[in-house]
Structure 1
Amino acid sequence: MLGNKLSTLINKHVKNNFWLYVISLLCVFTGIVMGIYSVRYMGGFEKSDLVSYFNNFTTTVNSGSVNYKSILLQTLKNNVPVILAVWFLGLTMIGIPIILIIDVIKGFTIGFSISFIISQMGIKGVWISLLGVLPQNIIYIPCIIFFSVLAMEFSLMIFKDRSRIQWKSHILVSITSYSISFLMVAMVMCIGFFMETYLTPAMIKLVAARFQGILL
């Protein structure tokens, strides 16, 4: 019953904000494409630094001395400020362009990571991308898009209703409802945080064991 009600609410939200979802999705995929192509124009020095960093991370994972707490804290550090920034921007009337830029940046990060790993490691990189990068991003991408649409929807509502006295008297209720929606999506995104913390190192270790000489 609860699942059906939640599904109905999500479907209704998507239907009512269809074009916002389309715009957000396009920004994310634009960022992914930009990230993919940017790898082709990187200099040798930058590539060497990134390969060295990835080599060290993979060696650490393969040795079994993984600091899961450190990985979790870094994951939270990378994502929580973005969530809070999008939430705050939704409370303004001028936040939509910045929200869309954030979507592009998140897409760029994903596209760059996958493209770089594959370009440097070939088929081995494909497996690392499939097992170590994509799983958590299957959670992250829908959540980021949902965050963005919630924020843009609220921002537009403020812009449209800013002169209505009745709306002003219920602003606290509106912000509370908006914040609760954000919190619910954030709880779903936490699944991705734990996947990145505990699943990704295990998958990288599995691939490294399967393909000896994986590091370049």
Structure 2
Amino acid sequence: MRKQIGQTIQLYLKEHQSLYLFTIVLFAMGVVFGAFIVNSLAATQKQELISFLQYFFKQFDQHGITDPRQYFQQSSLFYLKTVGVMWLLGLSIIGLPFILLVLFVKGVIIGFTVGFLVNQLAWQGISFSLFGVLPQNMLIVPALVMIGVGGIAFSLRLLKTGLLVKRELILPYFFRYTFLVVSMMGVLLIAVLFETFVSPQLMQYVLK
């Protein structure tokens, strides 16, 4: 099973190098845009956010995640829905731009989060980003990018072959795309486990 997953990933990386480059650049643009938004916030907005952040840090330092099991379930459900939507978008030609939008928005969120932490908390913000934001996203971002590229590739394949005319030709690509999505969902679950049970310990270490 592990060998089959590895072969599928290698095949997608080799076949769709240009798509990976494009989506990575798009994601990076989202990160830059998110960081830029931080600088465009009004002083009152920054103050409201920093007040909320200080309250969150205080509560988190004292209690951590109050219910790790519930947090894991909620986060897993969130990514399951996200992956399900991306999979469905990849099954239709008109869903292609929305897949790109999902990846761009993910970049914006990460860029804004890291940018705000660094902008407001300086070195502590850098430490918090490295220990609290970066680790799980090293799994989450590649997994979402691979799902996105798989969906884009399948949409382009539909456009090229014509689903209604050559349905038998598209089925192997459908199964391979679906297998990739399921595999990456497994990676996302590992990331959620890390985010639930390891990242809180690292963040509490930084706060102390």
Alignment TM-score, normalising by the size of structure 1: 0.86
Per-residue CA deviation, residues 44-103 of structure 1 (Å, 9 max, x unaligned), is: 222222222222222222113522234324433543332122111100012221111111
Stretch deviating more after TM superposition (41-50 or 97-106) = 41-50
Q: Could you tell me which residue of structure 2 aligns to residue 110 of structure 1?
A: 110
1:212 is aligned to none
CA distance in 2, matches of 1:140, 1:193: 9
Give the number of aligned pairs: 207
Quick one: structure 1 residues 108 and 156, their matched pair in 2 at CA, closer, same or farther if it must change by over 3 Å?
same
Equivalent AA in structure 2 for residue 191 of structure 1: I
SS at match of 1:66: coil
**Residue aligned with 2:93, SS:** coil
- Superposition CA RMSD, Å: 2.2
Indicate how the Cα distance of structure 1 residues 25 and 77 shifts in structure 2: closer, same or farther if over 3 A, else same. same
Give SS of 2:92's match.
coil
Unaligned runs of 5+ in 2: none
1:192 is matched with: 191
> Which residue of 2 is the match for residue 130 of structure 1?
130
Counterparts of residues 31-110 of structure 1 (less than 5 Å): 31-64=30-63, 66-67=65-66, 68-76=68-76, 78-110=78-110
More displaced 10-residue stretch of structure 1: 13-22 or 170-179: 170-179
Contact kept? 2:8, 2:176, Cα under 8 Å = no
For 1:176 and 1:163, how far apart are their aligned partners in 2? 14
CA contact (8 A) 2:9 2:180 kept: no
Report Cα offsets for 1:114-169 as digits up to 9, x if no partner: 0101111111111000100100111111111101011011111111111664x324
Aligned identity (percent) is 26
Instruction: Give the letter for the 1:60 counterpart.
Output: Q
SS of the counterpart of 2:109?
helix
Distance verdict in 2 for CA 1:76–1:54, change over 3 Å: farther
Secondary structure at the residue paired with 1:38?
A: helix
Cα distance in structure 2, aligned partners of 1:197 and 1:73: 10
